Amino acid sequence: MKTAAALHILVKTESEANALKAKIEKGANFSDLAKKHSMCPSKKQGGDLGEFKKGAMVKPFDQAVFSKGSDDKSVIGPVKTRFGYHLIRVLYTS
């Protein structure tokens, strides 16, 4: 069974997600932005979701995480789910 670990930021709008992504691309710290802006309880851990198995997350999120190579550290998203818009940084997949 494939596993992954990732950080994410969950916000209400695509425009908010895009604005945060632009800040990250300019050097802002992903975890700091997660703590400040994310709607997910994981924001207390800087957006850290820990390790999870393929199929454990909602489908669009799962597909985004497991479609990336484990060496690609770029920010994925915005990814729309029923919860809102996610920015995702995959730490590893195996």
Architecture field, domain 3-93: Roll (3.10)
65 SS3 class: helix
Confidence of residue 69 (pLDDT cuts 50, 70, 90): low
Strand ranges across the sheet with 76-81 = 48-53, 3-11, 84-93, 76-81
* Per-residue model confidence as pLDDT tens digits over 12-34: 999 999 999 999 999 999 999 99
Domain boundaries in the chain?
3-93
Average pLDDT, the chain: 94
Average pLDDT over residues 51-80: 88
